[in-house]
Amino acid sequence: MARVLIVGAGLTGSLCASLLRRELQDKVRIEVWEKSRGSGGRMSTSRPPGPSSHSADLGAQYITATSAYRKSHHRLYAELLSAGVLLPFDSSRIEGLKHKDGSQDFITPLGVGSIVKHFLSDSGAEVFFERHVTGLFRRGASWEVQSRAGDSEMFDAVVLTIPVPQILQLEGDLREMLTPPQQQQLSSVLFSSRFALALFFPPDASFSFSWAARYVRDSSVIVYICHDSAKRNAAPSLGPSLVVHSSVPFGLAHLERDAADVQPIIMQELQRLLPGLPQPISIKCHKWRYSQVLTGVPGSPGHMTLLQFPPLLCAGDGFSHSNFDGCVDSALSTITALREGLSEGVGLTDQSEP
């Protein structure tokens, strides 16, 4: 049985784990290591500090699928809709949204993090949180993977789904095996940065606006505001939640500042945009250093194979584009290459279609 490590429990990582399980079933042991305390990455749902408020999606807000992707990724969309993880969404409830013809929007009733949890659960993988990978070392036909805690484990294959700049920071043998073109392509990947606020309110709080979300055009600080619990049609028995995203220029200008120092600036602007906003019982400010891909790997290959055997692959939106379907494209591409590498190196063959 091959032992495969997937680094990163975001959308691409969870999809890779799920698709690999469907391909190789019981011929592979899958582990997922995530440096954070929970899964989701940029598709994470933040829980309120107390039980009286709804949760909030700090990263991705909703899923937009073009007609072409609804067709090519039909099985995954059908699966998520059947499981109740996704629901169709009326985008007219988003003020200022510029929509492309033929696109369809979906929301997640339990928060966008439920998509990642669905695929992780389906994969049967062992998921380890607060396991921060710091180094990769080739040991014959295996990879020794080191964590920040100082321990290390051996794997037959490794898939890196963390942001490309973090891949380039890993210690060990990775940098030495990069070809000059690979080094150049990876170094050229650029991400935008932004801050996100989640505001949690008591059950008796009410808002004066009717929209579920609004794209802001008259602010240099805030670009997006979402009545998150209304977007998800959440039960009114709990307090509402509000999500605020800063603009990319604002995020870049304040990137090296602590989130706690930036929060008052965003709150002041929010109060200007929404005068009379009730007092929240709690506020969470998060810095997304790697928010969305501005410049990806040329050609959007979906993945990059750094070594055929023992397999070492990179995946994620840096190799495609920053949305649900981009991560699906990346995962599909990655698992095809990984299956071939495992078949050649470990002697595995696939048993079923994904």
Q: Is residue 354 pLDDT above 70, yes or no?
A: no
pLDDT at 62: 95
Whether residue 182 sits in one domain with residue 326: yes
Q: How confident is the model at residue 347 (pLDDT cuts 50, 70, 90)?
A: low
Whether residue 257 sits in one domain with residue 139: no
* pLDDT above 70: percentage of residues in the chain: 97
Other beta carbons within 10 angstroms of residue 101's beta carbon come to 6
Whether residue 26 sits in one domain with residue 9: yes
Domain boundary among 291, 310, 332: 291
pLDDT at 331: 99
Whether residue 304 sits in one domain with residue 229: no
Distance CA 147, CA 45 (A): 25
Whether residue 353 sits in one domain with residue 218: no
What pLDDT digit, counting tens, does each position of 294-335 carry?
Answer: 999 999 999 999 999 999 999 999 999 999 999 999 999 999
Full residue range of the structural domain in which residue 154 is found: 1-35+130-189+299-354
Q: How confident is the model at residue 346 (pLDDT cuts 50, 70, 90)?
A: low
Q: How confident is the model at residue 348 (pLDDT cuts 50, 70, 90)?
A: low
Distance CA 267, CA 246 (A): 11
Distance CA 330, CA 275 (A): 43
- Asked if 160 contacts 8 with a C-beta cutoff of 8 angstroms, the reply is yes
Of the two residues 17 and 98, the one the predictor is more confident about is 17
pLDDT at 236: 85
Kindly give the residue spans of alpha helices, DSSP state H, lying in the chain: 11-24, 67-72, 74-82, 113-123, 164-167, 174-177, 180-187, 228-231, 248-253, 259-273, 324-345
Q: Is residue 345 pLDDT above 90, yes or no?
A: no
pLDDT at 100: 74
Mean pLDDT, the chain, integer? 95
What pLDDT digit, counting tens, does each position of 192-245 carry?
Answer: 999 999 999 999 999 999 999 999 999 999 999 999 999 998 888 899 999 999
The pTM (predicted TM-score) of the whole model is 0.94
What pLDDT digit, counting tens, does each position of 236-284 carry?
Answer: 889 999 999 999 999 999 999 999 999 999 999 999 999 999 999 999 9
- Asked if 25 contacts 351 with a C-beta cutoff of 8 angstroms, the reply is yes
pLDDT at 352: 43
- Asked if 7 contacts 147 with a C-beta cutoff of 8 angstroms, the reply is no
What pLDDT digit, counting tens, does each position of 7-34 carry?
Answer: 999 999 999 999 999 999 999 999 999 9
Q: How confident is the model at residue 161 (pLDDT cuts 50, 70, 90)?
A: very high
Domain count, the chain: 2
Mean pLDDT of 87-114: 91
Whether residue 287 sits in one domain with residue 221: yes
Distance CA 1, CA 20 (A): 13
Mean pLDDT of 81-97: 94
Distances (CA, A) of 77 to 99, 105, 127, 256, 274: 20, 12, 24, 38, 36
What is the DSSP track for 138-204? EETTEEEEEETTS-EEEESEEEE-S-HHHHTT-EESHHHH--HHHHHHHHT-EE--EEEEEEE--TT
Whether residue 143 sits in one domain with residue 202: no
Q: Which domain CATH number covers 319?
A: 3.50.50.60
pLDDT at 101: 76
Whether residue 286 sits in one domain with residue 346: no
Residue 256: which residues within 8 A CB-CB, separation 6 or more? none
Q: Is residue 125 part of a domain?
A: no
Mean pLDDT of 61-65: 96
Whether residue 98 sits in one domain with residue 198: yes
The interaxial angle of helices 324-345 and 11-24, nearest 10 deg, is: 40
Q: Is residue 35 pLDDT above 80, yes or no?
A: yes
| CA atoms within 13 Å, Cβ hemisphere of 47 | 8
87: helix, strand or coil? strand
